[in-house]
Amino acid sequence: MDLVTIIGYVLGLGFIILSIMLGDGFTIIPAQMSQFIDIPSIMIVVGGTISALLISFPGKAFGKIPKHFAMMLFPKKYNPEKYIEQIVFFAKEARINGLLALEDKLNAVEDPFLKNSLLLVVDSVEPDKVRTLLNNELDYMDERHNNDASFYLMGSDLAPAFGMIGTLIGLINLLANLSDSAKLASSMAVALITTFYGSFLSNFIFKPIARKLKERHADEYLCKMIVVEGVQSIQDGDNPNFIQEKLARLLPASKAAKLAEAAGGGEK
């Protein structure tokens, strides 16, 4: 579970609700919450944003929302160092016993992408075809994840826009009912609260989700890139030590240094 994400949402909601209820002398006035609940404003901002997203994206994009929330709160752990260790292990096996010897070892591999990539090598698929297949897989994943993030990025643009539409509606109604104090108050509420709702949805819901999905994508993409480069190096018959050094260069400097240090300790 990603506790940092949960803490962020809890703190954010807590501070916003507390600031709304906080009165003079730091007294808490729960009744003030009712001032920020306005059904017409919700209909304009939330309804308008959802409608525009329905127009812009296929229905399956909405079906992915629960999956994306699960990815945020319960992310799959990607350990690039572990992938490098596995690649180097298979490189040593291939160098000592030949590529066909890898087939018996693949049953223990949990990652389907790594397993299928090595099977291409074991099955003696031409290097150019292996390179094309694996790179296409990366490109498809990259495009798919970018489309998922774009759904929330568009939502972050639409919500404030509909908040502004609500503000304009409220101002128009306000000017049309200057003599009616009751309608004047409700029109002013719509004019102001829609902007609040739009900003809240954009900056607290849509943008954080898009950003978190991009982080999850970066973690997965790095590990799959390691697999692609490593499998091609195994097929080319490169030295395992060279493969490890090559793949370590894909890591951040701090992780690469730790991996090199661990490898050096293991050689002793």
Q: Are residues 185 and 258 in the same domain?
A: yes
CB 191 within 8 A of CB 175: no
List pLDDT tens digits, range 64-100: 999 999 988 888 888 899 999 999 999 998 888 888 8
Q: Are residues 199 and 113 in the same domain?
A: yes
Q: Are residues 238 and 156 in the same domain?
A: yes
Whole-Å CA distances, 264 to 102, 154, 244 = 25, 48, 12
Q: Cβ of 209: how many Cβ atoms within 10 Å?
A: 23
CB 133 within 8 A of CB 228: no
| Residue bearing the bigger pLDDT, 265 or 160 | 160
User: How sure is the predictor about 16, in pLDDT bands with cuts at 50, 70 and 90?
Assistant: very high
Beta strands in the chain, from DSSP E residues, in sequence order: none
- What is the dihedral sign for C-alpha 59, 65, 68, 70? negative
> What's the pTM value of the predicted model, to 2 decimals?
0.82
Q: Are residues 15 and 86 in the same domain?
A: no
List pLDDT tens digits, range 217-237: 999 999 999 999 999 999 988
Mean pLDDT of 35-61: 92
CA–CA dist 215, 213 (Å, integer): 5
CB 262 within 8 A of CB 87: no
Q: Which residues are paired to 249 by β-bridges?
A: none
Q: Are residues 22 and 108 in the same domain?
A: no
User: How sure is the predictor about 265, in pLDDT bands with cuts at 50, 70 and 90?
Assistant: low
CA–CA dist 268, 257 (Å, integer): 17
Q: Are residues 26 and 45 in the same domain?
A: no
- How confident is the model at residue 25, as a pLDDT? 74
Q: Are residues 49 and 29 in the same domain?
A: no
Mean pLDDT of 53-69: 93
Residue 267 has pLDDT above 60, yes or no: no
Q: Are residues 67 and 11 in the same domain?
A: no
- How confident is the model at residue 262, as a pLDDT? 62
Mean pLDDT of 106-118: 89
Q: Are residues 6 and 113 in the same domain?
A: no
Q: Are residues 54 and 31 in the same domain?
A: no
Tell me the three-class secondary structure of 27-83, residue by residue: CECHHHHHHHCCHHHHHHHHHHHHHHHHHHCCHHHHHCHHHHHHHHHCCCCCCHHHH
CA–CA dist 41, 60 (Å, integer): 27
Q: Are residues 33 and 152 in the same domain?
A: no
Residue 254 has pLDDT above 70, yes or no: no
List pLDDT tens digits, range 166-203: 988 888 887 877 776 667 767 777 778 899 999 999 99
User: The domain containing residue 234 runs over which residues?
Assistant: 38-267
Mean pLDDT of 201-217: 94
For residues 234, 236, 238 and 242, what is the CA-based torsion angle, rounded to 10 degrees?
Answer: -80
Q: Quote the mean pLDDT of the chain.
A: 88
List pLDDT tens digits, range 117-170: 999 988 888 989 999 999 999 999 999 999 999 999 999 999 999 999 998 888
Residue 268 has pLDDT above 70, yes or no: no
Closest listed residue to residue 255, CA positions, set 98, 85, 129 = 85
SS3 content of the chain, % helix, strand, coil (to 5): 85, 0, 15
The total domain count for the chain is 2
% of residues, the chain, pLDDT over 90:
55
Q: Which residues are within 8 A (CB) of 64 and not within 5 positions of it... i.e. 6 or more apart?
A: 148, 151
- How confident is the model at residue 152, as a pLDDT? 96
User: How sure is the predictor about 260, in pLDDT bands with cuts at 50, 70 and 90?
Assistant: low
